[in-house]
Amino acid sequence: MAATLFFWLCAFLAFFFGLGVIVARNPMHSALSLVMTFVASAGLFLLLHAEFLAWILIIVYSGAVMVLMIFVISLLNLQRDEPIEFTAARRWGVAFVVVFAAALLIYLFRDASVGFTYPPKPAISAEWGSAKAIATDLFTRYLLPFELASVLLTAAVIGAVVIARKPDPNEINGMESTGEEPSNQ
Amino acid sequence: MTELSLAIYAAVRIGVIFSAVMTVVAFLPWIERKLIGRFQQRFGPYRVGPHGILQPIADSIKLVFKEDIIPNNADRVLFVLAPTLALITAVMNLAVIPFGPTFELFGISFGAVQVADVNVGILYIFGFASLGVYSLFLAGWSSGNKYSLLGGLRSSAQMFSYELSLGLSVVTVLMAVGDFKLSEIVLSQEGGFWNWWIVSPKWFVIPGLLGFFLLLVSAFAETNRLPFDLPEAETELVAGYHTEYSSMKFAMFFMAEYINMIVASSIVTTLFLGGWHAPLPYEPFVLAPGWMWFAAKVFVLLFLFIWVRATLPRFRYDQLMNFGWKFMLPLALFNIFLAACCLLLADRFAL
C-alpha cells in the first residue's frame, strides 16, 4: 500500500519534472526540473531494492553533474523569452519524434488490450542491490568494462587539463613571431 | 509487530529526536553569542531573562513579525523554494543519525534512538548534503542581486570542492568497518576510547587522526562556518546569498545552518569518536545512557566550531580553493592508501 503510493508519487514527479525540462522557457528552471527528475528516479530505484544505486544517482547526478551545469547556466548571460523559430526542418523533426515515440509506446504496450502482463518477479536475496553485491559484480564479472571505463575517464580528465591549462609562454612567443597581432595572453 | 505499531514507534522516535534537536537549535545561537562574548572579553546577551537565556525567544518573535520582502528582480518561485530546501535537506539528515542505543519509555522499548537505520547510511547524508548545495546557490541566483549571486556561486564552488575530501576522509572508516550502516560503525567502536576510530590501534593510529582532521576541516567548509564563511563574507558581499532575505525566510537559513552544524558534529562523533559509547567501559561511565554520551561529544564539537569562529580570521577565496584542491584532496587520497596498507598489515599480524 505504502509502496504503491510511493511509486505513484515518484512516477508522477518524474513525469511532471521531465516535462518541465523541455517545456520550461527559463534554462535554470529547466535544469532544476532535471535535478528533480533524478531525485524522483532515485525514489523509483529505492522501490526496486537498489538503495546504493539510488543514492549514487542523487550524489553523482543531482549533486555533482547538475551543480556544474547550473553553474554554467548562471554564468552565461541569458536572454529571456527567446522566440523559437519553427523552421521546416524543426517541424519534420518534431513530427518524426512524435511518430517514433507513438510507435514505441504501441509496441511496448501491445499487450495492454489483454491486461498488463508483468514477468514473474525473480526471488532476490537480502544482499541484492547493496554496495557489497555491486562491488562483487564490478570487480569480478565486469572487471574489464569497469577498468575500461576508468581508463576512459582518465583520458577525459587529461583532456580537460590540457584544455584548461595556461598556454606555454614559449608557445605564445612562437605565435607572436609568426602572427601579425601580438596576443595578450 | 504489526505495521501500525511500527509506524507509531517510528512516529515517537521522530517526535523525540526532532523536538530535542530543535530545542538545541533554538538555544545554540544564544550559547554561541555567550561564548563569543566571553572570548572577546564581554558579556554577550544579558538583558532578556537571566543571563539573556530568553534571547532566542525574543529573536524568533522579532523575526516572525518582520516584513517579508521579495525583491522585484527575484525569481519568485525559486526565491521561496531556496530557504525551504535548505531547511528540508538539513532536517532530513537527522533521520539516520544514531543518537543512542535502544531506549525505554514507561517500560516499552522503542528501539534505537535513530529514526531509520538505512543500508546506505553515510551515503544518505552525502546525498542530502549535495542537494543542500542547491539551496544556497538558488538563494543567490534567484535574488537578482550581484552580491547574492557571488555568494551563491562561492558557496556552491566551495561545498563542491570540499565534498570530495569529506567523502574520501570517510572512506577510511568505511574500509575498516566494511559497512555503510551508521549503527554498525558505532558498534565497531565498542569498549573504551582506544577502540574509537580516531586512535584505534587496528590501523596504527595515524590514518584515524588524519581522517579525523580531514573530516573536521571539510565539515567546517561544508557548513560555511568560519574560517570558511566566504559565501557570506560581510566585508565583501554584504551578506552573500541571504542578502535579500528577511523575516522567516532568513530564519530558515539560520536554522538550517545550525542544524547542519549539529549534523556535522554528529557525523564526526559517529565515525571517529565512538558514537554513543562511553569513553571507558567501566562502572560509573556506562551507567549514563548512550544518548548522553553522544550529546556530550556533539557539544564538545559544537564548542570547537564556536571556538574556531572566535579565533581564526577568514580565508581569502583563492587560499580556500588552493587549500581544498591542492592540500586536502591529495592528503585524503594518500590517507586512503595509508589506511589500506595499515589495515592489511594489522590483518596480517592479527591485531
* Cα–Cα dist B25/B19, whole Å: 10
* CA–CA min distance B214, chain A (Å): 20
Please write the tens of the pLDDT for every residue from B222-261.
888 777 776 676 667 777 777 778 778 888 888 888 999 9
HSE value, Cβ hemisphere, 13 Å, CA-based, for A129: 18
* CA–CA min distance A58, chain B (Å): 6
- The CB density around residue B198, as the number of other CB atoms within 10 Å, is 21
User: What's residue A133's pLDDT?
Assistant: 82
A36 has a chain B CB within 8 A of its CB: no
Least confident range from B17-26, B51-60, B98-107, B206-215: namely B98-107
Please write the tens of the pLDDT for every residue from A175-184.
544 444 444 4
> Model-level pTM?
0.83
* Cα–Cα dist B351/B343, whole Å: 10
Task: Find, among B233, B269, B254, the residue nearest to B83 by Cα.
Answer: B254
Low-confidence ranges of chain A (pLDDT < 50): 176-185
Average pLDDT over residues B213-218: 90
DSSP code of residue B113: E
User: What's residue A38's pLDDT?
Assistant: 92
Nearest CA in chain B to A49: B119
CB distance B127–A63 less than 8 Å? yes
| Chain B neighbors of A67, CB-CB under 8 A | 130, 133-134, 137, 156, 160
Instruction: Work out the angle between the directed axes of helices B247-272 and B76-93 (0-180°, nearest 10).
Output: 30
Of B77, B129, B137, the CB nearest to A70: B137
3-class state of residue B102 by DSSP: strand
Suggest the residue from B130, B150, B177, B180 to mutate for an interface test with chain A (most A CBs closer than 10 A).
B130
Please write the tens of the pLDDT for every residue from A94-123.
899 999 999 988 887 776 655 556 667 677
What is the DSSP secondary-structure string of B308-347?
Answer: HHHHPPPPPHHHHHHIIIIIIHHHHHHHHHHHHHHHHHHH
Q: Is the peptide bond before B284 cis (omega within 30 degrees of 0)?
A: no
CB distance A63–B137 less than 8 Å? no
Predicted ipTM?
0.80
